[in-house]
Amino acid sequence: MAQKKQFKPAQQKPLREKREPAIGGQKPKQSSLPVFKPNIRFAVIAAVVGFCLYLNTVKHEYVLDDVGAITGNEYVTEGISGIPKILSVGMWHFDNVNLGYYRPLSMITFAIENQFFPGNPHVSHLGNVILYALTGFFLCLLLMNLFRNLHPVFGFMITLLFLAHPVHTEVVANIKSRDEILAFLNLIIAVFLLLIAFKKPTTNFKLVVASCVFFYLALLSKESAMTGLLIAPLVLFFSYNLSIKQALIKTIPFALMILLFQFHKYEVLGTVTGQIPKDIVNYPYTEAGTKLSSTFLIFMHCMRLVIFPHPLTYDYSYNSIPSAGFGSPLVLLGFLIAAALAYFSFKGLLKKNTLAFGILLFCLTLAPALAFVFLRGGIMAERFLYAPSLGFSIVIVFLIVKFTRTNLQSADLKLSQLSKYSKLLFPVLIIFSLYSFKTITRNPVWHDNMTLFSTDVKTSSNSCQVRRHYGSELINLGIAEKDPQKKTAWFNSGTAQLKEALRINPHFGDAFFKLGVAYQTVKVNNDSAIYYYTRAIQEAPGYAISYNNLGILYEGLGKQQLASYYYNRAVDVNPFFPDGKRNSESHKKKYGLDVRMFPSSTNLDSLERATPEDKKDYNFYYKLGTDYASKGDYVNAAKLLEKSIAKNPAFVDGMVNLANCYGMTKNYQKNIEVLNKVIALYPNNTQALGNLAVTYELIGNKDKAEEYRDKVRDLKGQ
C-alpha cells in the first residue's frame, strides 16, 4: 500500500514581525512560525460539500420574491436582450418603488437563464447551488492563505462550518437571494486576490486590478459588499507586517470602486439612499420610534440565531419581534454584549489575535443589518447573517483548537496524522453534522409557497405578513378548486388567516386586498369585494393591483365608466404594472372610454328621484347605498343604508354594511351601536362579532377586541 504523501510546510526566512503564540499547544521554539502552503484538495472538498448540502433544492419551485425578481420582471423574461434595461433601473422597478437598491448582477444572471431555460425554476436553483459550491472553494483558499501560519485544516474546518450553517438556507434555497451569494462570493475573491497581490515585496498590480473588478461585481450584487472597504485592510493588517495606516493605504483602490459605484448608482436611480416607505410591516421600528433601542434588540436575536439556528423562519416582520425601549432587559443585554465585543476585538486586533479577528469580522459584516434597523427602522432577516456566520465559524473553530490544546502551528504536523487528533476533529464533526442535518431538513420547507407558509406560520404566528401569505395561498387554492365544498373550505381557512393578519395589523392593505380577491373569485359577493378593495386602497394607496381588480369587477358588472376610471388609476399609481397597462388599453379599445375623473353620482340621485315611492323598498336603498360605498362616498352611503334599515330593521346585510360605512368615516360609536343591534338579533353572527373586534382594536380597547375574537373562535370551534 502506497504511503500517504506528508504535508510539509514551505521553507521561508525567519519572520521579523511579531506573531501570536500557538493557539492550542506549546509555543514554537523558533522565533518565526512556519508558513503552510494551501491545500487545493481541501478547497475542492469544500466545494463538493457545499454542492451536496443544497442538492435537494434543485427541484424546488419559485417562492416568495422570486416572482417579482424573475417571472414578474419584464426585462428578465426578455432574456439577454433585456440586460441593457436591467442595468438602467433599480431592483424593484416594476413595483414602482425606489428603495435605493441597485443590484443588477443577479438579475442579469436570471435573464441569461431565462434566455435558454424560460420560466424554469430548477435551472435557477441549480445556479444557486453551483455558486454556493464556488463560494466554498474560494473561501477555503482565502482562509488557508489568511491563516498561513496555521495548518490548512484550520481554514478547512472553518469553511465546513460556514457552509453547513443552517441560517444560509434562506439565501441558497430562495432564488432571489442570489444577490447575497454573488456579493459574498465576489467579495471573498476580491479580498483573496488583494491578499496575493501583496504577498511578495513587489506589488502585483494586475492582481490589484482584478481584485477591484471583483469588488465592483460584489457591489453590483448587493450594497452590503461595501463592508469590503473595512474587511480588506483588516485582512491585510492581520496577514502581513503592516501598520493599520499601511493596510488602509493599500485598500485605497477599493474606496475608489465604492465612489465609482455610488456615482453609477446615482446616475441610474437619481438617488443614493432611496426613499423609505411608510410601511409598518417592513419598517416597524420607525413607526414605534424605537430604532436605536430596537437595534440592540435585533442584535440579540442575531446572536441567538447564529449560535443556535432553531427554529428558523423566512419572515421577521411586524409583529414577530415587537419593538422595545431601553428599559427592556434584552435591549440592555444587547448593548452590553455589543460594547464588550467591540472593545475586545479592537484591543485584540492590535495583537493580531485570531479570536479578535473572528469577532471583528462578525461585527463588521453584521453592521449593514443593524444599520437597516437603526437608519430605516427595518426588520431583520436570516439572509443578513450569511456573511456574519463566517466570523462566528472562525471563533468556534478557534475555541475548539484552544480548548483541545491542538498545536496547528507545528512544522512537524503531517496531514496523514490528522486522524490522531480526535479531540480536535470530534467536536468539529459533531457541530458540522448537526448543522448539516438541520440544513438538509430545512431545505424541503422552501419547496413552494404553500409548504413554506404553512410551516413557518407555526413559528411566526404573530407575523401579520406570514398570516397574509398563508391566507393568500389558501385563497389561491380555493380559486383553482372545482369542488364547491372544498372551495368553501379553502375560503374559510384563507379568510381566517387574513383576518388574523388584520388582528395583528388592522391597517394591513395587502390583507384587505386578498379578502377582496376571495369575495371576487371564490365566494362571490361583489359588495364585500368592493368594500375590501376600497379598504385596501385606503390603507395602501400605492398598491396598483387593488385598482386593477376593481376595474375588472366593475367591468363584469357592466359599470364601464367605473371600470375605465379604476384601470386608469392602476396605471397612474404604477405605470410599470403590466396587468394595469394591458387592461386599461384593452378597455379603451373595447368601449371607447378614458375616464380620468371619478364618475359623478348624479345618475344615482336621478335614479332615486325617478323611482316611484312604492318601489323604494329596503332593497332599493340597500343597493343604492352600496353603490355609493363602492365609490368611496361613505357619508351618502350611510344615509341611504339608514333608510334601508328603517324600512327593514332586521335586515342584517344592511346593518353590517351601515356599520362598515360608519367605520370608514371613523364614527366608531355608531359603528359599535349598529353591530350590537345585529348581535342582539343574531347572537351567533360571526361577521358582526369579528367587526366589533376590529373596531375595538382600532380605538385601542384591546381587552374588548380579544373578548370578541374569543367569541368568534368559540363559534367556529377553533
Domain ranges of the chain: 276-403, 612-718
Contact 97, 275 (CB under 8 A): yes
For the whole model, what pTM was predicted? 0.82
The fraction of the chain above a pLDDT of 70, given in percent, is 92
pLDDT, residue 17, reads: 40
* Mean pLDDT score, 635-639: 86
**What was the pLDDT predicted at 413?**
67
Res 625: pLDDT = 85
pLDDT, tens only, 53-101: 999 999 999 999 998 899 989 999 999 999 999 999 988 888 878 888 9
Residue 489 to residues 239, 484, 554, 690, 717, Cα–Cα distance (Å): 63, 9, 27, 19, 14
Residue 20 is predicted with a pLDDT of 44
Give the per-residue pLDDT at 415: 66
The predicted structure's pLDDT at residue 7: 42
**DSSP 8-class letter at 175:** G
Residue 600 confidence class, pLDDT cut points 50, 70, 90: low
Task: Determine the Cα–Cα distance for residues 5 and 666; give it in Å rounded to an integer.
Answer: 81
Q: Say if residue 311's pLDDT is above 70.
A: yes
The 10s digit of each residue's pLDDT in 505-549 is 998 999 999 999 999 999 999 888 988 998 898 888 888 999 999
| 611-627 confidence digits (pLDDT tens) | 677 778 888 888 888 87
pLDDT in tens, 329-374: 999 999 999 999 999 988 888 888 999 999 999 999 999 999 999 9
- Of 590-599, 627-636, 664-673, minimum mean pLDDT range: 627-636
Confidence of residue 276 (pLDDT cuts 50, 70, 90): confident
**DSSP one-letter string for 453-507:** HHHHHHHSTT-HHHHHHHHHHHHHHHHH--SHHHHHHHHHHHHHHHHHHHHH-TT
What confidence tier does 278 reach under pLDDT thresholds 50, 70, 90? confident
Highest mean pLDDT, choosing among 41-45, 286-290, 647-651: 41-45
Average pLDDT, integer, range 377-385:
95
Residue 389 has pLDDT above 50, yes or no: yes
Of the pLDDT bands very low, low, confident and very high (cuts 50, 70, 90), residue 15 is very low
The DSSP string of 201-266 is SS--HHHHHHHHHHHHHHHHH-GGGGGHHHHHHHHHHHHSS--HHHHHHHTHHHHHHHHHHHHHHH
Between 186-195, 514-523, 546-555, 634-643, the lowest mean confidence (pLDDT) is in 634-643
Model pLDDT, residue 3: 43
Residue 414 three-state SS: coil
User: Is the confidence at residue 6, as pLDDT, over 60?
Assistant: no
- Given this model, what pLDDT does residue 163 score? 98
User: How much is the mean pLDDT over the chain?
Assistant: 89
Question: Which range (34-43, 199-208, 591-600) has the least confidence?
Answer: 591-600
Contact 58, 129 (CB under 8 A): yes
- Taking only the tens place, the pLDDT of each residue in 683-709 is 888 888 988 988 888 888 888 888 888
Residues 258-280 have a mean pLDDT of: 90
**612-718, superfamily in CATH?**
Tetratricopeptide repeat domain (1.25.40.10)
Give me the mean pLDDT over the 414-420 stretch: 69
* Cell output for 182: 454573488
- Burial (CB count <10 Å: 0-12, 13-18, 19+), residue 578: exposed
CA atoms of 73 and 75, how far apart (whole Å)? 6
Q: How many helices (H) and strands (E) does the chain have?
A: 34, 0
| In the predicted structure, residue 18 carries a pLDDT above the cut 60 | no
pLDDT for residue 1 is more than 70: no
Write down the pLDDT at residue 642: 93
Summarised one tens digit per residue, pLDDT across range 462-503 is 999 999 999 999 999 999 999 999 999 999 999 999 999 999
From 148, 128, 133, select the one nearest 43 (Cα to Cα): 133
Terminal CA-CA length for the chain: 69
CA dihedral 337, 342, 345, 351 (to 10 degrees): -130
Q: Cβ atoms within 10 A of the Cβ of 252, count?
A: 11
Q: What is the pLDDT of residue 22?
A: 43
- Identity of the residue numbered 395: V
pLDDT-based confidence at 14, cuts 50/70/90? very low
Longest dimension (CA), the chain: 110
> Among positive and negative, which fits the CA dihedral 27, 30, 33, 36?
negative
Question: Dihedral of CA 110/114/117/122: which sign?
Answer: positive
Query: How far lies 149's CA from each of 88, 154, 199, 278, 348, in Å?
Result: 46, 10, 14, 51, 18
The rounded percent of the chain whose pLDDT value lies above 90 is 67
Grid look-up 490589484 returns: 208
Residue with cell 427602522: 377
Question: Does pLDDT of 30 surpass 70?
Answer: no
Task: Find the range with the poorest average confidence among 179-193, 361-375, 416-430, 561-575.
Answer: 416-430
Q: Is the peptide bond before 319 cis (omega within 30 degrees of 0)?
A: yes
